[in-house]
Amino acid sequence: MKSDSEIERDVRDELKWDPDLDADDIAVSVKNGVVTLAGFTKSYTDRWEAEAAAKRVAGVLAVANDIEVRLPEIDRRPDPDIARDAVAALKAQLPISHDRIKVVVKDGWITLEGAVEWQYQKSTAEYTVRKLKGVKGVTNVITVKPGVEPSELKRQIQEAFKRNAEVDANRITVEANGSEVVLKGSVRSWIEREEAERVAWSAPGVTMVDDRIVVSP
């Protein structure tokens, strides 16, 4: 098992390795496998990329992202302009469901509200707006409507795990209570844990995934 100092070194190297990330002002600390990111970035996308980079490192059990977004003066924009661009971007990316999503912007922070039928629509909405110029952060409170019976939901997720080359289906158990899913078991890396959770969220009608999977390299 990797020591905290080894994990810290690898996270720093991964941050430098990512070509899309300016990590000059990001500090890294590790305690018992939990990584804390501090400092600041010049965009919300960089803040998100830093967290994603840390999660890719083997041995990381969790990430606390305390990075502050400090936009350069040239990138700061009025809230109405950000809101207008967000609505246009959502319409382009989600032509069928965009009208079910409400955008609220305050001090550069976007809150997404509303209800959709699929988790991918909720995820796509967040991915779309976080890249907009002037955005300091995104809170996604869009809800997903339930769509299938629990037994069918469980079966679909289990079958999806078996098809996925990155997930060992034999090490994960699935429980479904209404539209809520509980994942249990152990995986070899944080990336595999996230992939299992992503697969579960991809099932139609899932409104919550309680990921209790532990990382056990």
pLDDT tens digit string along 121-146?
999 999 999 999 999 999 999 988 76
pTM (2 d.p.):
0.63
Residue linked to tokens 């890249």: 131
The one-letter amino acid at 111: T
pLDDT higher than 70, residue 149: yes
pLDDT band at residue 180, thresholds of 50, 70 and 90?
Answer: confident
pLDDT tens digit string along 7-55?
999 999 999 998 878 888 999 999 999 999 999 999 999 999 999 999 9
Closest CA to 169 of 179, 159, 178: 159
Q: Which runs of consecutive H residues, i.e. helices, occur in 26-173?
A: 44-55, 79-93, 119-130, 150-163
Question: Residue 3 contacts by C-beta under 8 Å, 6 or more apart in sequence?
Answer: none
